[in-house]
Chain A
């Protein structure tokens, strides 16, 4: 069990699980019933999938300029991903899309929040 083998296995695990999370996010964005729930599926791809894939590539690359660039990409997506998700959601809300609330359907109140 050498050090190189340990690093290889760690980056394998990170990259394969990251790929799994991106596929799960994509499946979610196909399966979910309405626009508001699809936002959540897209954020699975953007958080878990992205972080795990970038971390896996960092571990594989070792300590070099490549790692710096990867961390920069990761930090940029980490900051802008939620910002653009919020922008899409806010634009949809302003344009008059209103999400249906399962919670209130259950309580039979029929009062919409906002």
Chain B
């Protein structure tokens, strides 16, 4: 119940930020629509087979991770930009299998999305324990970079088990 109230409050805050018009009736309509949204989401959660997703992550450590990821994205973008702009494109396309050590679904999702966000590598298939990744310009150091990213994502997971 507390979870639902917090969700409704977050929806209402988001609504206030998006709307920018603060006449009484419009604010009431916003409050009603956020409660309706929570009601509908609750029904959908009960109908789903897998149940709701739990969010277990360290908030402060993940800020550091996002900053690190931004630097990685910048570096990877530069590499792919150079590949696109050279007249003869020296591609070295390769499929690699990357083992992942995350326990929670959210951690695995963050790792897979981070791989896809850095240009040059794309998660193609998710299997238990491994991702299959398509690399645009494969070199032997890529596996080490992937293992490093895997370690960092696992480090921001909390409440394991």
Note whether A and B contact each other (Cβ less than 8 A): yes
State the A residues within 8 Å of B (CB).
21, 24-25, 27-28, 31-34, 36-37, 39-41, 43-44, 47-48, 51, 65, 68-69, 72, 78-79, 81-83, 85-86, 89-90, 93, 99-104, 113-114
With beta carbons under 8 angstroms apart, the residue of B20, B119, B132 that contacts A40 is B119
The answer, yes or no, to whether B49 is at the interface (CB within 8 Å) is no
- Pick from A41, A47, A99 the residue with the most CB of B within 10 Å: A47
Contact B94 A102 (CB under 8 A): yes
The 8 A CB mask of B73-99 against A (1 = contact, 0 = none) is 110010011011100010111111100
Assign chain B's interface to a size class: 35 or more
Residues of A with C-beta under 8 A to B125: 90, 93, 114
With beta carbons under 8 angstroms apart, the residue of B94, B120, B123 that contacts A103 is B94
Contact A27 B20 (CB under 8 A): no
Give the dominant DSSP class at A's interface. Answer: helix
The answer, yes or no, to whether B136 is at the interface (CB within 8 Å) is yes
Contact A43 B91 (CB under 8 A): no
Contact A86 B84 (CB under 8 A): no
Contact A90 B85 (CB under 8 A): no
Complex CA–CA separation, A26 to B77 (angstroms): 14
Contact A86 B117 (CB under 8 A): no
Contact A99 B93 (CB under 8 A): yes
